[in-house]
Structure 1
C-alpha cells in the first residue's frame, strides 16, 4: 500500500486489506490530527488507486469517519471503484461512510 498526502487529501494506492490496515490506520489518524485546527471541513481519502477492499479495511474507514466527526470534520471517500462500492454495499458500510458521487 502506497500513501500520498496532498493538502486535505490522503491518496491510497494498492489493495486495502488486512495486511495494510495498520499502515492506513496510522496514516489516517496522523492526517486527521494534522487537520484538526484547520478550516477545511472535508478530509478526503482518495481510493481511485485502490482496486479492492476487505471488511477489515472498511472498519478502519468507519472508525476514522467517527473520529473525524468528533473533531468537527467529515471524512469523504473519493474515487471508489465499482468493486469498492459493491463491497461497501454488501458489507452494509454504505451508511457509515460518506462517498463522493461518481461524475457522469
Structure 2
C-alpha cells in the first residue's frame, strides 16, 4: 500500500486489506489532525479492498464528523463500491459521485 498526500487529499494505491489497515489508519488519523478542512481519500488506484479496511474508513468518518468535517471517498472502482454495498458501510461512508460518460 502506497500512501501520499496532496493537500487535503490522501491518495491510496495498491491493496487496501487487513495487512495495510494499520498503516492507512495511522496516516489517516495524522492527516485528519493536520487539516482543519474536509478530507478526501482518493482510491482511484486501489486494486482490492476488504471489510476490515472499510471499517477503518467508517471509524475515521465518525471522527471527522465529530470534529465538524467530512471525509469523502473518491475514485471508488466497481469492486470497491460492491464491497461498500455488501458490507452496508455505504450507509456510513460518503462516496463522491462519478460523472457518467456518454
TM over 0.5: yes
Q: How many residues align?
A: 100
Q: Aligned pair 1:30/2:30, yes or no?
A: yes
2:9 equivalent in structure 1: 9
TM-score normalised to structure 2 length: 0.96
Q: Please state which structure has a larger fraction of its residues in strand.
A: 2
Consecutive unaligned residues of structure 2, counting only runs of 5 or more, are none
Shift in Å, 1:74: 0.3
**Aligned with 1:76 (options 66, 72, 77):** 72
Match of 1:66, SS state, is: helix
Unaligned runs of 5+ in 1: none
**SS of residue in 1 equivalent to 2:89:** coil
Give TM-score, length-normalised by structure 1. 0.94
Distance 1:99 1:52 in 2: 16
Distance 1:52 1:78 in 2: 15
Give the match's secondary structure for 2:97: coil
